[in-house]
A and B are shown apart, each in its own frame.
Chain A
Amino acid sequence: MDPLSIGIVGLLGVLALLALGCPVGLAMILAGGFGFSAIVGIDPALNVLETAAFEVSSNYSFTLIPLFLFMGSIAARSGFSKDLFDSSRYFSRGWNGGLALAAVSSSAAFSAISGSSLATASTMTRVAYPEMMKQGYHPRLAAGSLAAGGTLGIMIPPSVALLLYSLITEQSVGDMFLAGFLPGLLAYSLYMVTVTIMVRKWRPTAEQTKTEGTTLWVALKQLAPVALLFSLVMGGLYGGLFSPTEAAGVGAGLALVFALFRGLSWEEYREAVVEAVSVSATIFLILIGAEVFGFLLSVSQISYQMVDLIYQYNLSPWMVMIAIIIFYVIMGCFLESLAMILLTVPIFYPVVVASGFDPIWFGIIAVVTVETGLISPPVGMNLFVVQSAAKGLKTKDIMFGVIPFVMADLVRLAILLAFPIISLWLPSVFGSGSL
């Protein structure tokens, strides 16, 4: 068999292994390892395996993954989420559906220090869902706003998904974070509009329009630690004080200091560390898999053959882009978001760049599409996370509740496709420049 055929078999092999429930990282290692050894021999393949396992796990640039995850784990255990929710409630008081608006706002703020959609959805649901039920919110409105609000974590910096994209495509982490900022705000705005429309159909039956005991001063004080943490991490990063890894380390250290002042116990600290390292390990297995699989893609030259096909059949770049997006939307319903980015970006990235698209813009489009998959029924990960964190929530309610938010996401995707400047303006002004 020629290298290209082996590469195609390897690609199909990954999909078959995934369908059989093989862990994503392991599937990529198996297909990549066997495919690579079939092309270049067993000894180089073993060498690749050893090198990938060591080089990936000791890569200094990847240090920011566990550090940002640790920052999020600490933030989830130190009461930031409740303060953010209370503060957002104060600012959205008097509005119809104020609690749902507060849920989306506090999710956006929490994601600015968490970096993970699943952590944001889980933490905010525990805080906001019981209160929303108490005030007569329809479960569909409550669950939909919390599941969708959680997805903001994947776009608002520091986002683990944007981080992984920048690491595997060797784009500037700072530029990627800047590029995600406006699309994140756009998502937030569209979600707020969606909530406002949904409230007309599912009006809360016992909504309180006053927030007792909370004044503007209290609300600002509740917001302050998160605002300070975000400003220091991002300010330090863009002000040239820290490298991305240092920003993650300083963020984790500061989150820990804030948490200690707020009474974080030893047990909670230990839990936060164990959670951060366990999630990191699952991500690193996928990263090792992506590295091994990357060798197969490289020697089989699949991506370059795809580029050749595009030139040969004179396909327009936009046709290619739309095909990729359709693939992402469909696969996003089945595959975990980070796994999908690590599996597909090495294949599509050379094609996208050869088609003349901006790599940073494509990163945003890919992550936005993956983000939509997080709440796409029936298998969006955030739906399960919200359901497990909200007692008594029926599957039917959450499935119907997220549909308006999925539509909002599709509107945002169309806007971002039509106006790349939304993603590229901030990097061009404050970053290393991509325009």
Chain B
Amino acid sequence: MERLISVFDKIAFFSLSSMVFIVVASVLGRLIFDLTGGTLSLVLPGSIELVSYALAIMVFSSFPRAVMGGMVKVDLLVRVLPVPVQRFLDRLWDLVLASFAAIVGFLFFHKMLTMFKRGDVSQDLEIPLYLVYGVLTICCICIVLTAVWLAIKGERDLTPNK
């Protein structure tokens, strides 16, 4: 499971690094354009679109790692419950999370098929949208696997990826 999640870590890593690069390049391109009075145009076309899709891919590909590390929750009341009940609840929420990811993955998969059939592309760069939904569907499958694995294993590995 750790190996699978580290693959998605790499996707998230690449997405965030590209977001930083694209935003900085876009600002620099615009500054150069302004400074040269429009004679030198290094403005990145479709940068907003690229960053938006990179963000979606980053978010969904980093969910498995976030699920492993534990999501934000209020454990003050749960802490006073007996340990077996706490474990049961943890497993229950892992399974609920898996179900949520499965439903969203299913919806994304259908959207991907629709986009593919219609040949929908993005507005500026004409990126085939089924590709974006395809990546998100795969990420959702990984979230489902991670959450189910956690529910079966019954304990969390809190160490970050090494």
Interface residues of A (CB under 8 A from B): 18-26, 29-30, 46, 49-50, 53-54, 57-60, 62-63, 66-67, 70, 241-242, 245-246, 248-250, 252-253, 256, 270-271, 273-282, 284-286, 334-336, 338-339, 379
- CB-CB < 8 A to A63: which residues of B? 19, 23, 51-52, 55
Q: Which of A18, A26, A62, A270 contacts B96 (CB 8 A)?
A: A26
Asked whether A252 lies within 8 Å of B20 as measured between CB atoms, the reply is yes
Known: A23-B97, A50-B107, A278-B66. A58 touches B73 (CB 8 A): no
Majority secondary structure of chain A interface residues (helix, strand, loop or mixed): helix
- CB-CB < 8 A to B126: which residues of A? none
Interface size band for B = 35 or more
Known: A21-B93, A276-B16, A379-B76. A53 touches B104 (CB 8 A): yes
Would you call B7 an interface residue if the criterion is a C-beta within 8 Å of the partner chain's C-beta atoms? no
Question: How many cross-chain pairs have Cβ atoms below 8 Å apart between A and B?
Answer: 164
Asked whether B19 lies within 8 Å of A66 as measured between CB atoms, the reply is yes
Known: A22-B96, A58-B56. A245 touches B78 (CB 8 A): no
A334 to B73, CA, bound (A): 10
Q: Which of A18, A19, A250, A279 contacts B23 (CB 8 A)?
A: A250
Would you call B161 an interface residue if the criterion is a C-beta within 8 Å of the partner chain's C-beta atoms? yes
Complex: chain B residue closest to A287, CB-CB: B59
The 8 A CB mask of B102-117 against A (1 = contact, 0 = none) is 0110011001000000
Asked whether B72 lies within 8 Å of A339 as measured between CB atoms, the reply is yes
Asked whether A26 lies within 8 Å of B76 as measured between CB atoms, the reply is no
A53 to B106, CA, bound (A): 12
User: Which one of B9, B13, B16 has the greatest number of beta carbons of chain A within 10 Å?
Assistant: B16
A58 to B51, CA, bound (A): 8
- A-B contacts, 26 of them at CB < 8 A, read A21-B89, A22-B93, A22-B96, A23-B71, A23-B73, A23-B97, A24-B71, A54-B111, A57-B60, A62-B55, A63-B19, A63-B51, A67-B19, A241-B27, A246-B23, A249-B22, A250-B23, A271-B160, A273-B13, A274-B13, A277-B58, A277-B61, A281-B59, A281-B63, A285-B71, A334-B76
Separation in Å of the A32 CB from the closest CB of chain B? 12
The 8 A CB mask of B53-82 against A (1 = contact, 0 = none) is 101101111110110010111111110000
Q: Which of B65, B100, B136 contacts A278 (CB 8 A)?
A: B65
A429 to B7, CA, bound (A): 49
Separation in Å of the B46 CB from the closest CB of chain A? 12
Asked whether B97 lies within 8 Å of A67 as measured between CB atoms, the reply is no
A27 to B160, CA, bound (A): 25
